[in-house]
Amino acid sequence: MISYDGGVRLTRSARKHGLTADEVRRVLDAPLRSVRQPSAHGEVVLHIGVTDRRDLVEVVVAPGDPPVVLHAMRLRPANYPHLTGVTSHGEPARKG
């Protein structure tokens, strides 16, 4: 389990889809699923969770001191397989 007790920094791009800092923190405090993924920023973690409005959202966090939220928005269909654990090709989805 990944802990963000020390806080995180939200980038401008993480805020552009309208999620509040509180909504992002809620997802990071209790994600439904966390998936480690390679990226241009090194390994990042995709967290999928639910807002108070019951919207499914995705939050991408890069390592740092404090960790950096690079991306936050409503869950895109491309990331649905992470919730079921199976990709569209019938293969297991990567787990974090």
pTM above the 0.95 mark? no
Q: In one letter, which amino acid is 49? A: G
CB 68 within 8 A of CB 62: yes
What pLDDT is recorded for position 34?
95
| Section 34-57 average pLDDT | 93
What pLDDT is recorded for position 95?
54
What pLDDT is recorded for position 40?
85
How far apart CA 89 and CA 10 sit, in angstroms, is: 33
- Could you tell me the pLDDT band of residue 48, with boundaries at 50, 70 and 90? very high
Whether pLDDT at 63 is above 60: yes
pLDDT tens digits along 3-37: 676 789 999 999 999 999 999 999 999 999 999 99
Phi-psi region of 87 (alpha: psi -120 to 50; beta: other; left: phi over 0): beta
